Chain A
């Protein structure tokens, strides 16, 4: 009997020390950059915004960061911040697939993520290691030591006007204006992570909302937004453009 107890004790000891390795699974995020529910087509297809301006898109990139999965009771699984910074580039399909591994088991009803780089993380959490990625993607404002959170460029024709190019680069303006935005989306079909499971979340970015959402932005009025106070309006619009298409 004593022998049996000791063996049990030994087993419990071994198992209890495994607490660190709780069951984990994978969550794949897919970002779909759409206009009118269709995938955007770079350079070729013209779209029309609410200011009656037609436009084509030549470049679309944005930074996704600080991904957090939230359970119904509000408990959060914070994805390791150092590994949580991505550039979504419409031109590169692999950049639109973000695979998050080692997600703790559980049923998640919400996802939260940021667009951009939050200033509270600047000296912390190894976020500086995102610099080379941002640099390679042209998402760094070299003269301002800051990131472009959104890079959205193309051509447009205003109603009855002549064609021109547009260029929207949105980031924070030093300490004067923080354009980092967080987005929380409800996952209508709860995703349940178990040991070794893979869940998929398809997230739509409705690109037309960059012009037309909380604010309406006419390109004829301003086609070049780099460091411009109007970037705040664009950042607020970007915050509204994401929805979950499917979750399984």
Chain B
């Protein structure tokens, strides 16, 4: 009898503390993806440990990125304005196009190396990558949808029920998981295999004479803002564009309400710049030559014009450049084109 009770105690000891965790048999159906920081890159701003990309999370994020269900008319996906061939920008459109032919006011920005950026959009309106998609999804002139609406549409799709189930432990279709999946897809979009990268990492490439001259000019005349290997110091500046009365875009002032931020826009990265025309926040400049012409001769003064462009006496200095120097800088900028990235089928719709 005593012996039997002993057994029972044993069983109780074992059973009393058991929980679902003990019964869970992990099956590695969803392996983590390697998030590799290129050796010439800084540490990422995105905390990858809080949302580590997985095979299924990435697959789900990519599916969402290319799915028109994220918009009210079922047509406009993220990928509609962010086309891989053009480093995830849109060529034929100066400003972004939205549902039912609506027009935005700004030029779609390229998507790459987003894990290394602190803030997003031309004015820094999104302070975390996970939050950025809220803007295009809910903007009337872009995707014009609501999260409630999207979640309802996705719940009706068996393939999404499966994918969310595989990608996230709680298996739920909700805004948290939707945004995390999009981020998993986007942080994997690293562009780091341009000719410039191979030179910076001493992988055997060398600049041509023109490119080398351009790089030297760039370093002395442009790199104070287009700084470091990401080619942006991530600040907001007024680069002296005349105000377009059609949009009267107040820039970062819209986010901060500060008069000192009027007409300031984020210094964009220059990686893949050859592919991401047209240029500037409203796509007003068609070619890199147009951009350099603006910097040498086209600036107009205003209260918030960046001091970098001014002489000590307050007159506009711009960036003085000869025609030859402009061609050299353009040669250098083309070394920032990453063909591997734009052809990487991990990121392709089909």
- Give bound CA distance, A124 to B47, whole Å: 11
CB < 8 Å neighbour of B174 from A129, A140, A144: A129
CB < 8 Å neighbour of A10 from B9, B51, B148: B9
- Give bound CA distance, A228 to B140, whole Å: 23
B327 close to chain A: CB less than 8 A: no
B12 close to chain A: CB less than 8 A: yes
What residues of A have a CB within 8 angstroms of the CB of B37 in the complex? none
B25 close to chain A: CB less than 8 A: no
A14 close to chain B: CB less than 8 A: yes
Determine whether the beta carbon of A132 is less than 8 Å from that of B146: yes
**Interface bin, chain B:** 35 or more
Binary contact readout B116-128 vs A (1 if CB under 8 angstroms, 0 otherwise): 0001100111111
Determine whether the beta carbon of A142 is less than 8 Å from that of B12: no
What residues of A have a CB within 8 angstroms of the CB of B132 in the complex? 145
Minimum Cβ distance to chain A for residue B117 (Å): 13
Can you name the residue of chain A whose Cβ is closest to the Cβ of B148? A132
Binds A, one of B26-34, B209-217, B254-262, B301-309: B254-262
Q: Chain A contact residues: over half helix, strand or loop, or mixed?
A: helix
What residues of A have a CB within 8 angstroms of the CB of B5 in the complex? 3, 6-7
- Give bound CA distance, A135 to B258, whole Å: 26
Q: Count chain A CB atoms within 10 A of each CB in B139, B179, B257 and give the residue with the most.
A: B257
Binary contact readout B239-259 vs A (1 if CB under 8 angstroms, 0 otherwise): 000000000000000111110
Q: Which residues 28-49 of A sit at the B interface, judged by CB distance below 8 A? A: none
Q: Which residues 131-160 of B sit at the A interface, judged by CB distance below 8 A? A: 131-132, 134-135, 138-140, 146-148, 151
- Give bound CA distance, A143 to B5, whole Å: 68
Binds B, one of A169-177, A185-193, A213-221: A169-177
- Give bound CA distance, A143 to B135, whole Å: 5
A245 close to chain B: CB less than 8 A: no
Determine whether the beta carbon of A10 is less than 8 Å from that of B8: yes
A123/B47 contact (C-beta < 8 A), A135-B147, A144-B255, A177-B256 known: yes
What residues of A have a CB within 8 angstroms of the CB of B16 in the complex? 13-14, 17
Minimum Cβ distance to chain B for residue A133 (Å): 9
- Give bound CA distance, A124 to B258, whole Å: 29
CB < 8 Å neighbour of B256 from A2, A7, A145, A176: A176
Binary contact readout A156-190 vs B (1 if CB under 8 angstroms, 0 otherwise): 00000000000000000111110000000000000
- Give bound CA distance, A122 to B179, whole Å: 11
A200 close to chain B: CB less than 8 A: no
A78 close to chain B: CB less than 8 A: no
Determine whether the beta carbon of B131 is less than 8 Å from that of A176: no
What residues of A have a CB within 8 angstroms of the CB of B50 in the complex? 123-124
- Give bound CA distance, A228 to B255, whole Å: 9
- Give bound CA distance, A145 to B5, whole Å: 63
CB < 8 Å neighbour of A174 from B1, B8, B176, B256: B256
Minimum Cβ distance to chain A for residue B2 (Å): 5
What residues of B have a CB within 8 angstroms of the CB of A144 in the complex? 125-126, 135, 254-255
B312 close to chain A: CB less than 8 A: no
Minimum Cβ distance to chain A for residue B237 (Å): 15
- Give bound CA distance, A128 to B177, whole Å: 9
Minimum Cβ distance to chain A for residue B166 (Å): 19
- Give bound CA distance, A122 to B51, whole Å: 13
A22 close to chain B: CB less than 8 A: no
Determine whether the beta carbon of A146 is less than 8 Å from that of B138: no
Determine whether the beta carbon of A174 is less than 8 Å from that of B139: no
Minimum Cβ distance to chain A for residue B10 (Å): 9
B6 close to chain A: CB less than 8 A: yes
What residues of A have a CB within 8 angstroms of the CB of B140 in the complex? 142
Determine whether the beta carbon of B138 is less than 8 Å from that of A140: yes
- Give bound CA distance, A177 to B124, whole Å: 12
Binary contact readout B286-299 vs A (1 if CB under 8 angstroms, 0 otherwise): 00000000000000
What residues of A have a CB within 8 angstroms of the CB of B255 in the complex? 144, 173-174, 176, 227
Determine whether the beta carbon of A3 is less than 8 Å from that of B130: no
Q: Count chain B CB atoms within 10 A of each CB in A7, A127, A144, A145 and give the residue with the most.
A: A145
Can you name the residue of chain A whose Cβ is closest to the Cβ of B17? A17
A197 close to chain B: CB less than 8 A: no
Determine whether the beta carbon of B119 is less than 8 Å from that of A175: yes
A131 close to chain B: CB less than 8 A: yes
- Give bound CA distance, A131 to B140, whole Å: 17
Q: A126-B174, A129-B176 are in contact. List 10 more A-B contacts (CB 8 A).
A: A7-B9, A119-B127, A123-B131, A144-B125, A174-B125, A174-B255, A175-B119, A175-B127, A176-B261, A227-B256
Chain A positions within 8 Å of B, measured between CB atoms, are 2-3, 6-7, 9-10, 13-14, 17, 119, 122-124, 126-129, 131-132, 135-136, 140, 142-146, 173-177, 226-229, 231
Q: What 7 pairs between A and B have smallest CB-CB spacing?
A: A142-B138, A145-B126, A176-B256, A128-B176, A144-B125, A145-B131, A227-B257
Chain B positions within 8 Å of A, measured between CB atoms, are 1-2, 5-6, 8-9, 12-13, 16-17, 47, 50-51, 119-120, 123-128, 130-132, 134-135, 138-140, 146-148, 151, 174-176, 179-180, 254-258, 261
